[in-house]
Structure 1
Amino acid sequence: MAIFLPLTLWIALKNPVKDCGCFGDALIISNWETFYKNIVLGVCAVVLLRYYPRIMPLFSVGSAWKTGAYTVVFGFAFSVYNVVKLPVFDFRPYHIGANIPENMYIDPAKADVVENIFIYSKGGVEQEFTEEDYPWNDSTWTFVEMKTKLIQEGEKPRIEDFQVSALAYDSLLQGFVAGDDITQQLLSDTGYQFLMVSHSLEEMNKRHLDDFRKAAGFAQKKGYGFYCLTSSPVDSIEAWSARHPAGFRFAHADERVLKTMIRSNPGLLLLSGGNVINKWDDSEVPDFESERGEELLKAKGWKMNFWGKLMVILLIFIVPLLLVKLEEFKGKRSGLPAIKKGYTKKI
């Protein structure tokens, strides 16, 4: 804290970065809030250091290795699960239950304040004008260019660059060509839209590709949309389609956006009216062609309930620790000397 306290004070004063970034998207705090947080932590550290001899351990020496080992195993297992599967707690703007259009919107009153600068030339000399004084009615001035000057930086929407362009297969050219922008179509359609997301077809895990084929077939039968979103170039898409014929409709999107949408490659998102209804990594794509196909579209499970997930994780972590403490308590009770019957205290 002796290092971080003055460091965060300098950051708060100079403001070289917008926010702390310590907790990612889970908790965004300003630079001054970070400094105040470190003051509180610093005070707590001093108190703990001052009264350390008086602090009693929660577990005995004999039980400490059990609780320590369990804590390490739990932390490692939880981390591995979040890497192999989708994150248990998703704080990105494409989490289940998120409305993409809402996350793309920003109140104009809170947006960037900009000023248009017009550059005109007269007699070989260029001069800058604003919207209030530019010589629009003076023919002796020649317009050169317009620049946008940032006056005050405002808030940014959580989603800034979500844009999807369809790819159409041209039978004459024997290849894919750029099609229409289908962004608004995907976000405004109140029916179901399946988005198979693969930021790189070359790096895609193909182990469960048949499950995506089944999902695409189900969507076609039911009249739902199904697109494979990728940032791979057209020639890579053509080569991949030749090796793995699946009949997917492809669309282009930014690689960073696709990685933000879902970490699995590939992954599957289900949209309706711009809302993220559900999302699955490649190993958890349901069998939509089963008799429960329509039910699976509406099944949200525990993924929607943040506090429910938090309680489950806490119980998984805390209950074994409580059992160790209970075992320790019983051991202490059994070690106490037995009180003989009929014993009366002498006065």
Structure 2
Amino acid sequence: MNSRNKLIKIITELSRIIVGVTFVFSGFVKAVDPLGFTYKIQDYLISFNLTEFFPLALPAAVILVVFEFLIGAFLLLGIYRKPTVILAAVFMAFFLPLTLWIALKNPVKDCGCFGDALIISNWETFYKNIVLGICAFVLLLYYKKITPLFSAKAARWAAIFLVIFGFAFAVYNVVELPVFDFRPFHIGANIPENMYVDPTKADVVENVFIYSKDDVEQEFTEENYPWNDSTWTFVGMKTKVIKEGEKPKIEDFHIADLVTGEDITQQILSDANYNFLMVSYLLEEMSEKYLNDFKNTANFAENNGFNFYCITSSSAHYIEKWSVKNNTDFRFAHADERMLKTMIRANPGLMLLKNGNVINMWNDSEIPDFDSKGVKNFAKTEGLKTNFWGKLMVILLIFLIPLLLLKLWDIRSTGKSNNTTVLCQVKSSEY
């Protein structure tokens, strides 16, 4: 192999690794939280005025994240090289101009390409896609130089396993709470801390005063506004960001009592007692299959001096109608729909708070029997449920062991095939 071919080989393999690792990571962290990616797709649909496609957002999210994961995994394993490289190139040909448009128009805060695991700006996303696009173009030219890790026969089984693994993992994280929780409301998080940002690192803002004179509006700062000139008429005031700073992990966290309208956010977050929060971003879309478990939890809380709230963004009229229909006596509170979707990936779900700390959370099908087991047994954040590295190791073993066994079988079967070929050649030479 001459120096030119060696260089092409190195560049090709490097491009394969860059695209493969990025696609696998991006697909995996979104497959951890398909509902989060669903909400991101819905944001895009809103910006394009295509809200009628909302029902398709979830299946589209699952298919896209698995598709992305498979492209990356196929590249890293070197299987089905030509179709995989073509799909990767098509993928980048679509998303490169799309992310440029997003960076220019800024319809969403971040593209969501790495879910909540790694949030990057829209321009950073575009620059990342430029690199991936170049690598995909290299692979398109020299895909034959990609080294396959499996024979053609074993590659078929590897592909089947990867498809099953990808869809099973994504669907599991739809049915259950996400295996990994990258959101600021994860178990063990302190909500008040995540709402705070150092004032010296926050946005630098100034007040802008708007005055009108002769039907012409003009903006002034605090230093030059015409406070003593009666020919100017005050119109309004706004806040202008001079320099962007750090943002708190949790913004606009507000909970209001349904009956009084009182802001009870600090009351809940500063309470040294246990607070049960039944979270349903919309009662209209809530599953009522396990509603009795929430009723039992509410009764347990009342009997033991704990607080129980049902927090939703549904209208007061619908809440009243829903409560009568289901014969509930919950204390209802109002909150923003987007915030409720961020708090827990279930509708409904249950969160347990104490001193503003997220002690535990459950989806509707996993609510414990607090009457028989008490609350302290579930007020623990240790163990596999919150052990990031332990859970990651289990998933890696589930992913890698079948591939390693398949590779051993591939080596063994390939060796037998080679031995048979040699033996046939020896026998034929005797005649």
The TM-score, its normalising length taken from structure 2, stands at 0.67
What does residue 378 of structure 2 align with? 296
Q: What is the correspondence of 1:154-169 to structure 2 with a 5 Å cutoff?
A: 154=244, 155-167=246-258
Aligned length, in residue pairs: 326
> Deviation of residue 271 (structure 1)?
1.2
Provide, for residues 1-41 of structure 1, a one-character-per-residue CA deviation record: whole Å limited to 9, x for no partner: 684797489669x7433554322322222345435434543
Most deviating of 37-46 and 216-225? 37-46
Q: Which runs of 5+ in 2 are unaligned?
A: 1-88, 421-431
Which one scores higher on RCO, CA 8 angstroms, separation ≥ 6?
Answer: 1
What does residue 22 of structure 1 align with? 113
Provide, for residues 216-242 of structure 1, a one-character-per-residue CA deviation record: whole Å limited to 9, x for no partner: 222223322110101122222222222
| Distance in 2 separating the partners of 1:93 and 1:34 | 22
What does residue 223 of structure 2 align with? 132
1:331 aligns with 2:331: no
Contact map agreement 1:5 1:39 (CA 8 A) in 2: no
Specify which structure has the higher proportion of strand: 1
What does residue 150 of structure 1 align with? 240
Q: What is the correspondence of 1:82-161 to structure 2 with a 5 Å cutoff?
A: 82-119=173-210, 128-136=219-227, 138=228, 140=230, 144-152=234-242, 154=244, 155-161=246-252
| Distance in 2 separating the partners of 1:31 and 1:213 | 44
| Distance in 1 separating the partners of 2:202 and 2:351 | 30
Provide, for residues 189-237 of structure 1, a one-character-per-residue CA deviation record: whole Å limited to 9, x for no partner: 1322110011222322111112112222222233221101011222222
Most deviating of 142-151 and 190-199? 142-151
- Say which SS state the counterpart of residue 153 (structure 2) adopts: helix
| Distance in 1 separating the partners of 2:204 and 2:231 | 28
- Say which SS state the counterpart of residue 202 (structure 1) adopts: helix
Contact map agreement 1:122 1:141 (CA 8 A) in 2: yes
- Say which SS state the counterpart of residue 324 (structure 1) adopts: helix
What does residue 318 of structure 2 align with? 236
Most deviating of 292-301 and 302-311? 292-301
- The 1:210/1:119 distance shift into structure 2, 3 A limit, reads closer
> Deviation of residue 270 (structure 1)?
1.0
| Distance in 1 separating the partners of 2:241 and 2:321 | 48
> Deviation of residue 183 (structure 1)?
0.3
- Say which SS state the counterpart of residue 285 (structure 2) adopts: coil
Contact map agreement 1:116 1:148 (CA 8 A) in 2: yes
| Distance in 2 separating the partners of 1:125 and 1:15 | 30
How much is the aligned-residue C-alpha RMSD, in angstroms? 3.1
| Distance in 2 separating the partners of 1:106 and 1:261 | 19
Q: Which runs of 5+ in 1 are unaligned?
A: 168-176, 338-347
| Distance in 2 separating the partners of 1:6 and 1:283 | 41
1:210 aligns with 2:292: yes
> Deviation of residue 164 (structure 1)?
0.7
Aligned amino acid, residue 224 of structure 1: F
- The 1:127/1:332 distance shift into structure 2, 3 A limit, reads closer
- The 1:40/1:266 distance shift into structure 2, 3 A limit, reads same
What does residue 173 of structure 1 align with? none
Contact map agreement 2:278 2:309 (CA 8 A) in 1: yes
1:321 aligns with 2:403: yes
Q: 2:340 aligns with which of 232, 255, 258?
A: 258
The TM-score, its normalising length taken from structure 1, stands at 0.81
Aligned amino acid, residue 164 of structure 1: I
Aligned amino acid, residue 170 of structure 2: S
What does residue 70 of structure 1 align with? 161
Provide, for residues 72-94 of structure 1, a one-character-per-residue CA deviation record: whole Å limited to 9, x for no partner: 11111111111111122222222
What does residue 344 of structure 1 align with? none
State which structure, 1 or 2, has the greater radius of gyration over its C-alpha atoms: 1
| Distance in 2 separating the partners of 1:27 and 1:182 | 32
- The 1:35/1:185 distance shift into structure 2, 3 A limit, reads same
Contact map agreement 1:120 1:127 (CA 8 A) in 2: yes
Contact map agreement 1:226 1:249 (CA 8 A) in 2: yes
- Say which SS state the counterpart of residue 45 (structure 1) adopts: helix
- Say which SS state the counterpart of residue 181 (structure 1) adopts: coil
